[in-house]
Amino acid sequence: MKIRISDIMNQMECPAVELQEQGSISLWQVREKTLHKIHNAPVEGHFMRKMSRAGIAAAVLVFCVSITTVAGMIVKWNGFAYTDGLSRREKEALMEEAGTAYARVMVDERDGSVHYLDQDGNEVMSLSAAGAAVYEVAGKAAAEQAVVESTRLIEVALLPLIPWSITEVETTEEGRFADFILGNGHMLLLHPAGEDGYSLVEGDTVTVMLDADGECRLQFRVYREGRPIAEEESRAGHHSFQFTVEEGGRYNFSVMHESSDPHIFTNCSIAVN
Amino acid sequence: MDEQKALQELKRRNEEALIWFIDRYGAYVNTIIHNIAGSFLPITDMEEISSDVFFTLWMNAGKISHGKAKAYLGGIARNKAKERLRKAGMELPLEDDLLLVSRENPEHAVQEQELARFLQEAILAMQQPEREVFLRYYYYYQPVSLIAKEMDMNLSTVKTRLHRGRKKLRVILWEGGYAIED
């Protein structure tokens, strides 16, 4: 029998060896892709084991079900909300909803069937394992397509990862924009009121600043004529992102939230010097 | 956060802990993947493999003991990179990797698991730096030139150590009732 030493070692637990770094795989991409997988993985519900067979709906393939309708039934919090004018109590209630609302997907370990619950724990849809696999692919594709079509200011399809949502936010003549809550994986896209983007020339310096209610990770991205050209991550409470224009044109700037918990952002501004 | 705390937080599904592991061991995982698949796959595919490795860490955090995360990640990275190449119909050729193994008693079949046990025994019986050279070449797929550079040896010394390691393996397999041909 022919064997390879290297293949036999597949089954071994080998000690770690200090290796010098090789290659140019991007850690940032690895991080993004891993978090994306985690956020799209179905969640197992322990209480499912207690459900009787009679209590589980028959598995049905639901191609004709409107995915956005179902998504709306499952998730009320849509990742972004303005907080200007809200009282402290209203903000707290909104933060609580943002922190607890998520798509509840439970898998019955006995037969692999997948059950989608609303926030009150009521089942809104159930699918067989095979049906759920199709639904997830179709649902994800439809949701992503909806995000791609949600703005014409930038070419969303060029982004390495499509965010959960994009909200176009107008900035005033003074460069201010309203306070807001932003959830994980949701994005803000800045543009001046009444215009598609900022008309900038070589040498202009743009500074975007905002304060969070706690330390969090944000990703700032720059777009020229709708195409992404630069990005930067920031982990802080007070965020300040600066970009110097090398080539004139129409620019937009986005802010995407990367921490797991939602945060409130205040003192938001964009300045061009 | 130290590794013990990060592992505890990972088991509690804290994403910041996962980020900690990616920041700490991402370069290590990426290097292993690059050594195996760097000549065959585009960077985006290798990034995908790397994220699969950390996703596996996330899903199996409960099974990992303190101090074992790096070795765990290294093993998963290696196997996932090899698997991806195999699915694409490719293989990273290694010199002196093949052995022709048979049982002295033909009634007993060659068992892969048993062979793995003998191989592990052979590796444990090796002295350093022979053991490390063997692991770098056969487990981490490092080219001989890179092993020589990182271990501050000349090429012929690395080759000699590999040769001795294979010889030790043959002896242990022979003692276990296997006949070996190159």
pTM comes to: 0.48
| Minimum-distance CB partner of A25 among B30, B116, B166 | B30
Please indicate, yes or no, if residue B63 is contained in any of the structural domains.
Answer: yes
**DSSP assignments along B138-150, one per residue:** HTS---HHHHHHH
B51 lies in the same domain as B11 = yes
Task: Identify whether the C-beta of residue A260 lies closer than 8 Å to the C-beta of residue B15.
Answer: yes
Say yes or no: domain A156-272 is CATH 3.20.190.10: no
B51 lies in the same domain as B123 = no
Q: Which residues of B touch A6 (CB under 8 A)?
A: 94, 97, 138-139, 141
B81 lies in the same domain as B52 = yes
Question: What's the confidence (pLDDT) of residue A55?
Answer: 33
Residue B21 has pLDDT above 90, yes or no: yes
Residue of B nearest to A216 (CA): B16
Please indicate, yes or no, if residue B165 is contained in any of the structural domains.
Answer: yes
Q: What angle do CA A148, A150, A152 make, to 5 degrees?
A: 85
Q: What is the CATH number of the domain that holds B174?
A: 1.10.10.10
Q: Which structure tokens are listed for B72?
A: 């765990």
Question: What's the confidence (pLDDT) of residue A261?
Answer: 76
Domain stops at, among B27, B54, B87: B87
Please indicate, yes or no, if residue B78 is contained in any of the structural domains.
Answer: yes
B179 lies within 8 A of chain A by CB? no
Q: What is the CATH number of the domain that holds B24?
A: 1.10.1740.10
Whose CA is closest to A95, among A264, A212, A238?
A264
Summarize the confidence of residues B107-129 as an average pLDDT: 75
Mean model confidence pLDDT for chain B: 85
Please indicate, yes or no, if residue B64 is contained in any of the structural domains.
Answer: yes
Whose CA is closest to A201, among A266, A150, A245, A155?
A245
B134 lies in the same domain as B169 = yes
Task: Identify whether the C-beta of residue A230 lies closer than 8 Å to the C-beta of residue A217.
Answer: no
Give the span between the Cα atoms of A95 and A81, in whole angstroms.
10
Q: Which amino acid is at A178?
A: A
B72 lies in the same domain as B108 = no
Residue of A nearest to B45 (CA): A25
What is the residue-level pLDDT of chain A in tens, covering all 273 positions? Answer: 777 888 888 777 777 788 888 778 888 889 999 988 888 765 543 333 333 333 333 333 333 333 333 343 333 456 777 777 777 777 777 776 665 544 456 667 667 777 766 555 566 667 777 666 666 666 666 677 778 778 889 988 888 778 888 989 999 888 999 888 888 888 999 999 888 999 999 999 999 999 998 888 899 999 999 999 998 988 888 999 999 999 999 999 999 988 877 889 999 999 998
Please indicate, yes or no, if residue B95 is contained in any of the structural domains.
Answer: no
Q: Which residues of A touch B138 (CB under 8 A)?
A: 5-6, 9
**DSSP assignments along chain A, one per residue:** -EEEHHHHGGG--PPP------S---HHHHHHHHHHHHHHSPBP-GGGGGS-GGGSPPP---TTS-HHHHHHHH----SEEE-TT--HHHHHHHHHHHHH---EEEE-TTT--EEEE-TTS-EEEEE-HHHHHHHHHHHHHHHHHHHHTT-SSS-GGGSSS--SEEEEEEE-TTSEE--EEE-TTEEEEEEETTSSSEEE-TT-EEEEEEEEEEEEEEEEEEEETTEEEEEEEEEEEEEEEEEE-SS-EEEEEEEEE-SSS-EEEEEEEEEE-
* Confidence band, pLDDT 50/70/90 cuts, at residue B109: low
What is the total count of domains within chain B? 2
Residue A21 phi/psi, 5-degree rounding, is -60, 135
H or E stretch covering B98: strand B98-103
The SS3 of residue B102 is: strand
| Minimum-distance CB partner of A30 among B15, B31, B51 | B51
Please indicate, yes or no, if residue B117 is contained in any of the structural domains.
Answer: yes
Domain that holds residue B156: 100-181
Whether residue A21 and residue B16 make contact (CB cut-off 8 A), yes or no, is no
- Write down the domain spans for chain A: 28-76+102-148, 156-272
Please indicate, yes or no, if residue B92 is contained in any of the structural domains.
Answer: no
B82 lies in the same domain as B7 = yes
Q: Which position has the token pair 């790397």? A: B50
How far are the Cα atoms of A11, B77, B115, B170 from residue B177, in angstroms, in the given order? Answer: 21, 33, 11, 11
Domain stops at, among B66, B87, B108: B87
Contacts of B107 (CB under 8 A, 6+ apart): none
Question: What's the confidence (pLDDT) of residue B108?
Answer: 59
State the DSSP code for B14. Answer: -
Please indicate, yes or no, if residue B158 is contained in any of the structural domains.
Answer: yes
Task: Identify whether the C-beta of residue B21 lies closer than 8 Å to the C-beta of residue B71.
Answer: no
A33 lies within 8 A of chain B by CB? yes
Distance of residue A105 Cα from the nearest chain B Cα, in angstroms: 17
B149 lies in the same domain as B117 = yes
Out of A107-111, B72-76, B123-127, which region has the weakest mean confidence (pLDDT)?
A107-111
The SS3 of residue B151 is: coil
